[in-house]
Amino acid sequence: MLIETSEQFFSVLPQYCRILALDVGEKTIGLAISDVMHTVATPLHTIARKQFTKDLDALLKVIKEREIAGLVIGLPLNMDGTEGKKCQSVRQFGRNILKTHTIPILFWDERLSTEAAMRKLRESDISADARLEKVDAVAAAVILQGLLDAKP
């Protein structure tokens, strides 16, 4: 089910559960997970995009293994807050998930999440190659942490 607001999202989730965040890109999907208390977001890994059914299989495996109760998907809004073609693609991705799996989905503003992720990775003193491998998962954690921090 598509959820409109963070208040509605948290109201349909069990009190103690994990939330999975997705940073959906053209080449990869970054994943991050919350703790059951909804206080901390942790990067997991990335899924290399192949085709939707394979991407979905990999995603559903994580949902099952980690007992995920809700998804937050980063919405790549333009800097002025409007939606462009990338937003349409990400919204379709979420709707396609719902065709095969029933789970609450909230789209969440992801503006500047990749820049924040790169800044965090540069501060962690890891190589440039390692930063590129981890940036999408860290960006998903930035998106998820934004939601967790806004929890009513």
| pLDDT tens string 8-32 | 999 999 999 999 999 998 899 999 9
Longest Cα separation, the chain = 42
Domain ranges of the chain: 2-149
β-pair type (28-34, 41-48): antiparallel
Helix/strand number for the chain, H first, E second: 5, 6
Average pLDDT, the chain: 88
pLDDT of residue 130: 57
Structure token pair of residue 119: 């800044």
Separation between Cα atoms, residue 141 and residue 56, nearest integer Å? 20
Separation between Cα atoms, residue 77 and residue 87, nearest integer Å? 6
Can you tell me whether residue 109 is helix, strand or coil?
strand
| pLDDT tens string 136-149 | 898 899 999 999 99
Whole-structure pTM value? 0.88
pLDDT of residue 115: 63
Q: What does the angle CA 21 – CA 151 – CA 135 come to, to the nearest 5 degrees?
A: 30
CATH code of the region 2-149: 3.30.420.140
| pLDDT tens string 115-130 | 655 666 567 667 655 5
| pLDDT tens string 35-63 | 999 999 999 999 999 999 999 999 999 99
